[in-house]
Structure 1
Amino acid sequence: MALTNKNVSYTAFLSLDAGNSTGSGFHLTFEKKEYLITAKHVLFDEKDKLRCESLLITFQNHTSEQEDAKTIVIDELDKIKIFKSLKSDIIAISLNDSELFRIEENGKDIVSVNDDDIGELKTIEIANNILLVGFPTSLIMQNAVFFDINRPLLRKGIVAGINSKENTFIIDCPVFYGNSGGPIIEYRENNEMKLIGIVSKYIPFVTEWKNNRESAFVRQEFSNSGYAICVPICEITQLLSK
């Protein structure tokens, strides 16, 4: 199903090593091949080493009903083909060799983004409305249930800025741990919807406290500024097209 569908409540939930860490992503069909798209830092650490051995992927459809989801398990993540952008926080996991993963649930009407659904960075318009879709699992509190973890949460905002030098764009949505890798959908003037990128990280607001008597004692507090940095999807599609 293409992004012309008004219900865009879908994304992929990622569980690393049986829930030790989580992230978001989405299914991409590009040049007739299938991929999982997510942020590079979800699966790789600062030294470019995998954070986990196994990965459970839950692909959603537009209803986000748990029984309709497609579930894939990659038991040995180091053996599967992963395309990584050298300069940006985005990767694509190949889902074209069925011997390297197993399907636990086939799902129903699973959403896949296609070539025609993708918008490039140069076509993004400042102040256009956007939707962020993902699984902010860090908002879950013990003994307090605010939302269903099996369903993605949406957040509405605008394109707040474009950083051409870093090849990123900024949205005015606060994002949280678990949102990383989630898709960003842009609404354009002709009511066309395009998937333009993924969540990379939030922009912090830093408050610094100093001790008046001991100037060496400094404390910094980081809070969420409400802005987030996103990587354009064209970063990975250019790599895949090669």
Structure 2
Amino acid sequence: MPKIEQVQLAFPVLIEVAGTTGSGFYLNDDDGIYLVTAKHVLFKKSIETYTEPVTLTSLDGDEGIKTGLKVSFKLDCLKLVEEGNLRKHALADVAVCKIAALTKVDDGGRFHKFLLTNLPGVVSLKEEGVIRGLPRKQTARLDQVYVGDDILLFGYPTSLAGDAFDRSVPLLRSGIIAGKTNDGQIVIDCPVYYGNSGGLVAMPVVDGSLIDVGVASRMVYYVEKTYSPRFDGPVALRHENSGYALVEPMDRVFEVINQIRGATVLAKNA
């Protein structure tokens, strides 16, 4: 598997709200920085907007990879929905939040810096810091994803036991594209755990960059049956992690981004 440029570890985002955690990632799409995640991470039961503030934490795009320096924001989801900058997909497990307008600063490398203008409902928790988003051109649509391709899963599996690592630094898992479902999701041969939902799923390529294929949605379970000789049959069922996971493709992410852009146009013309 090709090595990746370490600066890309600043793309993943730890999401914390109401005592729960999830994962997401930043995406640059010309007009702004978008937080991409699973719908059930930012919406209670995938329906209701959280009234509690949402905290976003990522590695600083300049020094964080070496020093562990973090960048954090706090989101007011009610305000962001009201402004049309937080939307969820009607059917898929995808949510997108535009957190900032941006102006690119050429720093001489492939990963550019951006000056951010926070949108209403977004508050920086530190005065300084650089966030980096995965460029839109480094994404693949569903028909460009092939079974057998190598992938990396980026996320924050906060349910893992032990205190040997910083839980606000992303962990990676490797796997392959194992298949596609009848309704257009991607199946990966890579286990996900509590906290991984909404994480970046990307293919590493030979130049060190990542090609984003989608958003981690949920694990695929298998059912384990416990039998009792006394009752001559199953007495309990247990759902276990099969090691496979479902991923929403980027096609559905861009459908939501287009909704946000449409809402912005309508607001300007109102």
Shift of 1:51: 4.5
Shift of 1:107: 5.0
CA distances 1:114-133 after superposition (whole Å, capped 9, x unpaired): 22111111100111111101
Paired position in structure 2 for 1:194: 211
Q: Which runs of 5+ in 1 are unaligned?
A: none
CA distances 1:130-162 after superposition (whole Å, capped 9, x unpaired): 1101100000x3xx3132112110111111111
Paired position in structure 2 for 1:128: 149
Q: Equivalent of 2:166, from 143, 148, 152?
A: 148
Instruction: After superposing the two structures, state which structure 1 stretch, 101-110 or 87-96, moved more.
Output: 101-110
Given the superposition, is the C-alpha separation of residues 66 and 12 from structure 1 closer, same or farther in structure 2, using an over 3 Å criterion? farther
Say whether residues 1:209 and 2:226 are aligned partners. Answer: yes
Identity of aligned residues (%): 27
Q: Is the 8 A contact 2:50 2:77 kept in 1?
A: no
Say whether residues 1:117 and 2:138 are aligned partners. Answer: yes
Cα separation, 1, equivalents of 2:183 and 2:230: 41
Shift of 1:198: 1.0
Paired position in structure 2 for 1:83: 87
The count of corresponding residues between Structure 1 and Structure 2 is 232
Cα separation, 1, equivalents of 2:58 and 2:199: 12
Given the superposition, is the C-alpha separation of residues 27 and 192 from structure 1 closer, same or farther in structure 2, using an over 3 Å criterion? closer
Q: Is the 8 A contact 1:203 1:229 kept in 2?
A: yes
Paired position in structure 2 for 1:72: 73
Shift of 1:218: 2.7
Q: Which runs of 5+ in 2 are unaligned?
A: 101-117, 260-270
Shift of 1:211: 3.4
Say whether residues 1:179 and 2:178 are aligned partners. Answer: no
Given the superposition, is the C-alpha separation of residues 104 and 67 from structure 1 closer, same or farther in structure 2, using an over 3 Å criterion? farther
SS of aligned partner of 2:143? helix
RMSD: 2.4
Given the superposition, is the C-alpha separation of residues 227 and 30 from structure 1 closer, same or farther in structure 2, using an over 3 Å criterion? same
Cα separation, 2, equivalents of 1:210 and 1:72: 50
Shift of 1:94: 1.9
Cα separation, 2, equivalents of 1:124 and 1:47: 27
CA distances 1:189-212 after superposition (whole Å, capped 9, x unpaired): 887631110110001121112434
Cα separation, 2, equivalents of 1:9 and 1:119: 19
Letter in 2 for 1:172: D
